[in-house]
Amino acid sequence: MTDLGHVLTEAFGDEDGVVDVADVMQKMAEHKGCGTSSEGGKASCGSSGGPEDMDPAIWEKVKNHPCYSEEAHHHYARMHVAVAPACNIQCNYCNRKYDCANESRPGVVSEKLTPTQAAKKVLAVASTIPQMTVLGIAGPGDPLANPAKTFETFRQIMEAAPDIKLCLSTNGLALPDYVDEIAKYNVDHVTITINMVDPEIGQHIYPWIFWEHKRITGIEAARILTERQLRGLEMLTERGILAKINSVMIPGVNDQHLVEVNRAVKSRGAFLHNIMPLISAPEHGTVFGLNGQRGPTAQELKALQDSCEGEMNMMRHCRQCRADAVGLLGEDRSAEFTTDKIMEMEVEYDAAGRKAYQQAVEGERQAKVAARQEELATLGGATSAIKLLVAVATKGHGVINEHFGHAKEFQVYELSTAGAKFVGHRRVDLYCQGGYGEEDSLDTIILAINDCHAVFVAKIGGCPKADLLKAGIDPVDQYAHEYIEKSAIIWFKDYLAKVESGAIVHVERGDAAIRQGALLSAA
């Protein structure tokens, strides 16, 4: 048995040496006195890249960072602490006053914290969710417009929990002033939101910036902002700090221009580019929401991401999280860690227990990759022009383990003879509400995955099954609790065989909608 095997078996294995991560998680939770139900559940796409196609030093930095590695996001969790309320620019897609507990968008937050409250919250979450490896400060304003609170929070966490990776997300206006401070606190990952490199376009996204004690508007504001963002990116690259660029795709405003943004950030050493859809509904009260600016469709977003992918690593698994999000991407456990609750919690930081748990998670990740490679080999060099999308209901761990009616999002994979590639996710309203299927929700779910040929689920009822089939989407439940990619490849081989034999005819699917409003239910 390997060293890793010994650690896991000693800590959590049965007499046959088999380690069940869900079981481990439950044991850890029980040990902490927490009643969790276990629900959780290059830099090629900075995303799908693994150790085999990455510099070992970079892999070390991203392997358990859920935002910088698509593979990691199935297994590791992150949290944001909302210690930075003020902002130094105005974006037309942002309104920090709007909050809805069921909503997930950057800038949205239920309560703001002091650095000391934030540090306590990090320890409480780290003790309850041992796969939480990353602490980010992402607002609700700009962390670098609140430097004292941001760096004091980092200082306290660095001392109390040195194994947790620190990261921050900024609009970049103040970034060049703080790169040395960022390096001092070992903040290894910085996200800069860059929506343009042309001030002519920027003036339609940013009405003003606050710069050198003055409010500046128009093209001048956008010019200063883009210069500061790109300079800050260069300075991060010079210091070996990984930079991810977030860009919001705003159809008719910057959608064509983002290809140029992609080139500009790549040439300055950005590690990963995350092009996200504009989320814009009137109830958010943003300028874009109120003036009817639409967001992109699913296929418009994917086409832009695909066209930039040859240029650099693309992130496709971003969930546009709240500034107080907690948990795996795609789940939000922030309600379990309100200030009242964490102040009452007895927190015991068990670094050794966390390490053992994370070793078990790493074993799980490796087993998943091995299963995918094994299945991929059976395609044996087959070629076909057919490329299609499938949706997957999952609670995490890279497994098909969610019921159709309980899914709050579906992960989307592109299948071809090259294998199964994660290309995005679609948030949906819950179908099952209070024990009954909700027909209105079903319509929106079908719209959200309308470009998919099949939906993989752990379980599904007769009614939604019939409606999905009517819409041309195959509900697949025979791979419950199996690995996603392995199962998808098996299904795809079968699909190709049926097309070849004439049993079915392959047809292209239509477009799909990206949900703009708040969830109907978070239950």
- Judged by beta carbon, residue 284 or residue 319, the one nearer ligand SF4 is 319
Residues 15-74 that bind ligand SF4 (CB under 6 A): 67
What residues from 196 to 235 belong to the interface with ligand SF4 (CB under 6 A)? none
Per DSSP, 140 falls in state: B
- The CA-based angle 89-91-95, given to 5 degrees, is 100
Q: CA 482, 448, 435 angle in degrees (round to 5)?
A: 70
Q: What is the DSSP string of 329-390?
A: TT---GGGG-HHHHHH------HHHHHHHHHHHHHHHHHHHHHHHHHHHTTTT---S--EEE
Kindly identify the residues of this chain, within the stretch 355-374, that bind ligand SF4 according to CB under 6 A: none
234 by Cβ neighbours in 10 Å (0-12 / 13-18 / 19+) ranks as: middle
Please say which residue, 247 or 359, places its beta carbon nearer to ligand SF4.
247
395 near ligand SF4, rule: CB under 6 A = no
C-beta of 78 vs 426, nearer to ligand SF4? 78
Does 273 engage in binding with ligand SF4 (CB under 6 A)? Answer: no
Distance in angstroms (rounded) separating the CA atoms of residues 189 and 134: 10
Spatial distance between the Cα atoms of 367 and 59, rounded to a whole number of angstroms: 18
* Beta strands 419-427 and 409-416, pairing class: antiparallel
Question: Minimum CB separation from ligand SF4 for residue 409, in Å?
Answer: 12
Q: Residue 482: what residue type? A: E
Q: Is 170 in the site for ligand SF4 (CB under 6 A)?
A: no
Give min distance, CB of 321 to ligand SF4, in A.
Answer: 3
Total residues contacting ligand SF4 (rule CB under 6 A)? 8
CB of 138 to ligand SF4, least distance (A): 6
Which of 167, 13, 197, 15 minimizes the C-alpha distance to 79? 167
Out of 48, 69, 117, 320, the only residue in the binding site for ligand SF4 (CB under 6 A) is: 320
**Which is closer to ligand SF4, CB of 425 or CB of 453?**
425
Choose between 88 and 104: whose C-beta lies nearer to ligand SF4.
104
State the minimum distance, in angstroms, from the CB of residue 104 to ligand SF4: 8
Question: Toward ligand SF4, which CB reaches closer, 328 or 455?
Answer: 328
Burial 488-521 (b: 16+ CB within 10 A, else e): bbebbbebbeeeeeeeeeeeebeebbbbbbbbbe
The least CB distance from residue 384 to ligand SF4, in Å, is 33
Q: Which is nearer to ligand SF4, 127 or 320 (CB)?
A: 320
Whole-Å CA distances, 253 to 95, 447, 517: 19, 25, 21
247 binds ligand SF4 (CB under 6 A): no
CB of 499 to ligand SF4, least distance (A): 36
To ligand SF4, the closest distance from the beta carbon of 315 in angstroms equals 7
Binding mask 79-118 for ligand SF4 (x = CB under 6 A): ----------------------------------------
Q: How far is the CB of 58 from ligand SF4 (least distance, A)?
A: 17
Helix 21-31 and helix 3-12: axis angle, to 10°?
50
Binding mask 300-319 for ligand SF4 (x = CB under 6 A): ------------------xx
Measure CA of the first residue to CA of the last residue in the chain; give whole Å: 43
Task: Work out how close the CB of 296 gets to ligand SF4 at its nearest, in angstroms, rounded to a whole number.
Answer: 17
Rg of the chain's alpha carbons, rounded to an integer? 22
Nearer to ligand SF4, 136 or 295 (CB): 136
Shortest approach of ligand SF4 to residue 38 CB, angstroms?
22
**Within its chain, how far is the Cα of 355 from the centroid?**
23
Report the residue number, 314 or 415, with the smaller CB distance to ligand SF4: 314
Maximum alpha-carbon separation in the chain: 71
Q: Is 464 in the site for ligand SF4 (CB under 6 A)?
A: no
Closest alpha carbon to 478 in 461, 491, 495, 463: 491
Span 322-351, contacts to ligand SF4 by CB under 6 A: 329
Judged by beta carbon, residue 245 or residue 447, the one nearer ligand SF4 is 245
- The answer to the question of residue 78 lying near ligand SF4 (CB under 6 A) is yes
Phi, psi torsion values for 405, nearest 5 degrees: -70, -15
Of 434, 459, 425, 429, nearest to 444 (Cα)? 429
**Could you tell me how many helices (H) and strands (E) the chain has, helices first?**
17, 18
Q: How far is the CB of 281 from ligand SF4 (least distance, A)?
A: 18
Output 61 or 319, the one with its CB closest to ligand SF4.
319
Shortest spacing between CB 336 and ligand SF4, in angstroms: 18
Q: What single string gives the DSSP state of each residue in 401-454? A: --BGGG-SEEEEEEEETTEEEEEEEEE---SEETTEE-HHHHHHHHHHTTTEEE
**Cβ closer to ligand SF4: 174 or 329?**
329
Rounded Cα gap, residues 69 and 50, in angstroms? 8
SS3 502: coil
Instruction: Retrieve residue 144's tokens.
Output: 């670098």
CB of 193 to ligand SF4, least distance (A): 10
Residues in region 131-160 near ligand SF4 by CB under 6 A: 136
Among 84, 209, 241, 321, binds ligand SF4 (CB under 6 A): 321
| Residue 442 Cβ vs ligand SF4, minimum distance, rounded to whole Å | 27
> Bridge partners of 77?
132, 328
User: Which residue number, 136 or 398, has a Cβ lying nearer to ligand SF4?
Assistant: 136
Q: Using CA atoms, how far apart are residues 316 and 246, in angstroms rounded to an integer? A: 11
Residues contributing to the site for ligand SF4 (CB under 6 A):
67, 78, 136, 318-321, 329
